[in-house]
């Protein structure tokens, strides 16, 4: 004779099964070390790089991005030696060049781009040696000054491809015009160029008017290909995509999904690969040819991590996390410096790069410096 199970028995059995599955899932989840448990095999190079006294007395203002080119030279994108307003300094009203090139010793080789941008943010140099910049300005007036170039156009909301003398070769987006279409941006934060010349733009800095958060892909000639992502926390969506990089042995797309506190990984067609929360709240991302992943991060509590205006908390860890770009494992942690002059949220390392020898370069927006860390052997 068959007996039907009593409802209470089925309920208890179901609860036990669910609890068992949850325990098994937790057991299978990767366990990552805390930043303080990781080694720091890097040493800061004092006094690098060297700025001429004729440039702001030899002192940087806010530095937002850094790039190491294949020839070993280091490119810096900064906010025209300005520090106002803190965390989002502007080039409006200033004539200084926002793009600087240094040799590995820290000697200034070249400066360019004066008058081209109002709100420097994203930067890269492509395989042909052409600098690319993004401008997140979305205001017609900044600090009481018109955000216009010499031709009277409102600056901002565009991505520019330049030659090494600062001549504009291509513009993506419409200067001074924000939007969420295929030919407009709304506060584009980063730009990356793939080996085949395809262009990837992370679009939608926090506070943008249209509420977008996405990646936009273009062909080498600037032709729109596709876009992916919306504002949200689901896989493939974003909340303040703050930086983007394309590279590594697999040629993947890495996005610093800042307010979702994760690095998101995609293939170049926009197919979702992974979301890594173990890197904290990222502001910058870079992948070396050896598949080492470098991320400028802050480790914030749940109550403040999504609030872009919240202040740094006592004891909050900030710095550069080094990991594996294939599996997301963690390898090292470089703490942020203590000489910060702002208390903006997130890491001070708003831009990051590494050279062929594994030395790390940080564009420290809060410390008003470019920092070089030697990889100790």
DSSP codes joined into one string, 53-106: TTTGGG----EEEEEE-TTS-EEEEE-TT---STTS---TT--S-SEEEE-TTS
The string of pLDDT tens digits covering residues 188-225 is: 999 999 999 999 999 999 999 999 999 999 999 999 99
- Give the separation between CA 310 and CA 142, rounded to whole angstroms: 23
Would you state the pLDDT for residue 30?
80
pLDDT at 377: 77
| Preceding amide of 140 cis, omega within 30 | no
Nearest Cα residue to 326 out of 281, 269, 377, 263: 263
Domain residue ranges of the chain, discontinuous segments joined by +: 41-375
Residue 50: DSSP 8-state: B
**Cα-Cα end-to-end distance for the chain:** 74
The pTM of the full predicted model, rounded to 2 decimals, is 0.90
> Which pLDDT score is estimated for 12?
44
Q: Give me the pLDDT at residue 25, please.
A: 43
pLDDT at 56: 95
pLDDT at 307: 61
Residue 371 has pLDDT above 60, yes or no: yes
DSSP 258: G
Average pLDDT over residues 314-340: 87
User: Is 41-375 a CATH 3.40.50.300 domain?
Assistant: no
Question: How is the chain split among helix, strand and coil, in percent rounded to 5?
Answer: 10, 40, 50
Cβ neighbours of 155 (radius 10 Å): 24
More confident of the two residues 125 and 29: 125
pLDDT interval class at 5 (50, 70, 90):
very low
Which one-letter DSSP state was computed for residue 107?
Answer: B
Q: What average pLDDT does the segment 268-294 reach?
A: 97
Exposure of 357 in the CB half-sphere (CA atoms within 13 A): 12
pLDDT of residue 231: 98
Q: What SS3 state is found at 269?
A: coil
pLDDT in tens, 214-260: 999 999 999 999 999 999 999 999 999 999 999 999 999 999 999 99
CA dihedral 287→292→297→303, nearest 10 degrees, is: 100
| Residue 316 confidence (pLDDT) above 70 | yes
From 20-29, 82-91, 233-242, the region with the lowest mean pLDDT? 20-29
pLDDT higher than threshold 70 for residue 133:
yes
Average pLDDT over all residues of the chain: 90
pLDDT band at 343 (very low <50, low <70, confident <90, very high): very low
pLDDT value of residue 313? 61
Tell me what pLDDT residue 252 has. Answer: 98
Residue 67 has pLDDT above 90, yes or no: yes
pLDDT of residue 95: 93
pLDDT attached to residue 345: 52
Q: Is the pLDDT of residue 11 over 90?
A: no
Looking at residue 300, its pLDDT comes to: 73
């Amino acid at each position: 004779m068959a007996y039907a199970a009593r409802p209470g028995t089925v309920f208890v059995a179901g609860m036990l099964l669910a609890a068992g599955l949850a325990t098994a899932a937790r057991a299978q989840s990767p366990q990552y070390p805390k930043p303080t448990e990781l080694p720091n095999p890097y040493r800061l190079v004092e006094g690098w790089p060297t700025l001429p006294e004729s440039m702001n007395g030899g002192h940087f203002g806010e530095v937002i991005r850094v790039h190491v080119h294949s020839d070993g030279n280091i490119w810096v994108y900064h906010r025209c030696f300005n520090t106002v307003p803190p965390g989002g300094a502007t080039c409006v009203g200033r004539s200084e060049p926002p793009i600087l090139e240094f040799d590995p010793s820290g000697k200034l080789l070249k400066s360019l781009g004066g008058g081209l941008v109002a709100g420097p943010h994203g930067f890269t140099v492509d395989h042909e040696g052409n600098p690319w910049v993004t401008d997140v300005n979305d205001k017609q007036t900044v600090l009481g000054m018109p955000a216009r170039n010499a031709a009277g156009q409102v600056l901002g909301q565009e991505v520019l491809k330049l030659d090494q003398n600062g001549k504009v070769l291509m513009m993506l987006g419409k200067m001074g015009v924000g939007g969420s279409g295929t030919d407009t941006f709304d506060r584009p934060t980063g730009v990356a160029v793939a080996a085949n010349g395809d262009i990837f733009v992370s679009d939608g800095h926090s506070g943008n008017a249209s509420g977008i958060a996405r990646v936009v892909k273009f062909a080498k000639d600037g032709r729109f290909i596709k876009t992916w992502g919306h504002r949200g926390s689901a896989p493939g969506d974003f909340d303040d995509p703050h930086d983007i990089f394309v590279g590594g042995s697999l040629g993947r797309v890495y996005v610093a999904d800042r307010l979702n506190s994760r690095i998101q990984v995609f293939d170049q067609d926009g197919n979702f690969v992974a979301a890594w929360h173990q890197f904290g709240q990222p502001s910058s991302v870079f992948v070396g040819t050896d598949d080492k992943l470098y991320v400028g991060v802050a480790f914030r509590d749940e109550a403040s991590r999504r609030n872009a205006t919240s202040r740094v908390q006592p004891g909050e860890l900030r710095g550069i996390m080094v990991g594996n770009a294939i599996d997301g494992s963690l390898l090292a942690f470089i703490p942020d410096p203590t000489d910060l002059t702002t208390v903006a949220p997130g890491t001070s390392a708003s831009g990051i790069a590494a050279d062929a020898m594994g030395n790390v370069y940080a564009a420290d927006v809060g410390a008003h410096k470019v920092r070089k860390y030697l990889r100790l052997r």
